Amino acid sequence: MKSLVCAGLVISTLCFMSPARAQLAPGSMDVQWSTATTHCETKAPPSLQVHRYNATTFVLRESLCETVEAPFMYLLVGTDKALLIDTGDVAESQRVPLGNTVMSLLPQANGSTLPLIVVHTHGHLDHRTGDSQFAQQPNTQVVGTDLDHVKQFFGFTDWPNGAAQLDLGGRVVDVLPTPGHYASHVLYYDRQTGLVFSGDFLLPGRLLIEDRAADLASAHRVADFFKDRPVSYVLGGHIELDKNGALSGLGTAYHPDERALPMSKQDLLDLPAIVADFNGFYSTHGMFVMMNQNRVLLALLVGALAVLAGIGYGVYRFFRRHKAKRRAAATAMA
């Protein structure tokens, strides 16, 4: 039947789509992020940018002028509940009005907003500092980020194996443990849109890997989970590359020619090979730069101490030589 339809039709992209992919709720990632210039003081973009992927799916991003992390947050709306994934890097609503913006995007029913669950990809501060803006919001639950809270809320009994499900009402989201970058990191898969929210476990840029063995095991579980599932886009927690694949500088509010946010299903399937290439210190694989931040920082610290020690020794020798010269001169005069 499918081939008959395709043969008789004018060329349609649907003919080339897998049946599962064709069933995904469509949406658009055609968005220009207001990446900051060096003039944050005079030409600052809006502190929070909202992109409507479709009527019930939103991508939010804090401005680089507010935080050099410029993290992404995601809002999924079901018929019974809404889910916010991550709350960004800014607590003060005067600076970034995340709480009120999210509440304004939720549908109203009988004078109240849809219940909201606030979850996280992981507990690093750039993904949860905005939690405080939801503490006083009505019908809102904020889930903790430590491993005990994550296990308990999602009902993981064999962490890090298995997947949990959250039903938002006509919209099921799978939750997969992905420790490696962070011990209680999870990844979310929205079955309705095929979107994957990968946090800092997978993003276009630096993959900071704290625990290589855990990260590699996570990569294998993720690749296995997605091999037979349709994926529209993989969306991480940050963008750290430009369009030529060059890394943006650490701590800079200037991201010229920033790369697009989405990654692909192939990136998920390639993850075991990517992480297997990691030497535990600093490695690159395609567009990904993998590093153990703690070890790199320690090496930098040791290097800086070695330089300081070298300078100190040089100064010590200079003064010793100087003193010896003065003593020799005084002896010659006597």
The whole-angstrom separation of Cα 273 and Cα 57 is 31
Q: For residues 100 and 93, is the Cβ–Cβ distance under 8 A?
A: yes
Q: Does 131 contact Zn ion by CB under 5 A?
A: no
Q: Which of 27, 99, 237, 272 binds Zn ion (CB under 5 A)?
A: 237
Of 171 and 238, which has the nearer Cβ to Zn ion? 238
Q: How far is the CB of 237 from Zn ion (least distance, A)?
A: 5
- For residue 127, give the nearest of 86, 182, 164 by alpha carbon: 86
Q: Does 81 contact Zn ion by CB under 5 A?
A: no
The whole-angstrom separation of Cα 82 and Cα 114 is 7
Q: Which residue has the tokens 């507990």?
A: 123
Q: For residues 107 and 114, is the Cβ–Cβ distance under 8 A?
A: yes
Count the residues of the shown chain that bind Zn ion, applying the rule CB under 5 A: 4
The whole-angstrom separation of Cα 215 and Cα 275 is 7
Which range binds Zn ion by CB under 5 A, 23-31, 73-81, 116-124, 254-262? 116-124
Q: Does 89 contact Zn ion by CB under 5 A?
A: no
Q: Which of 126, 215, 258, 267 binds Zn ion (CB under 5 A)?
A: 126
Of 178 and 192, which has the nearer Cβ to Zn ion? 178
- What secondary structure does DSSP assign to 94-109, as a single string? TT--HHHHHHHHSPEE
- Token pair recorded at residue 179: 């420790």
Q: How far is the CB of 71 from Zn ion (least distance, A)?
A: 6
x/- track of binding to Zn ion for residues 191-230 (CB under 5 A): ---------x------------------------------
Identify any residues that bridge with 49 across adjacent strands, giving them in sequence order.
61
x/- track of binding to Zn ion for residues 154-193 (CB under 5 A): ----------------------------------------
The whole-angstrom separation of Cα 290 and Cα 277 is 9
Q: Does 124 contact Zn ion by CB under 5 A?
A: yes
Site residues for Zn ion per CB under 5 A: 124, 126, 200, 237
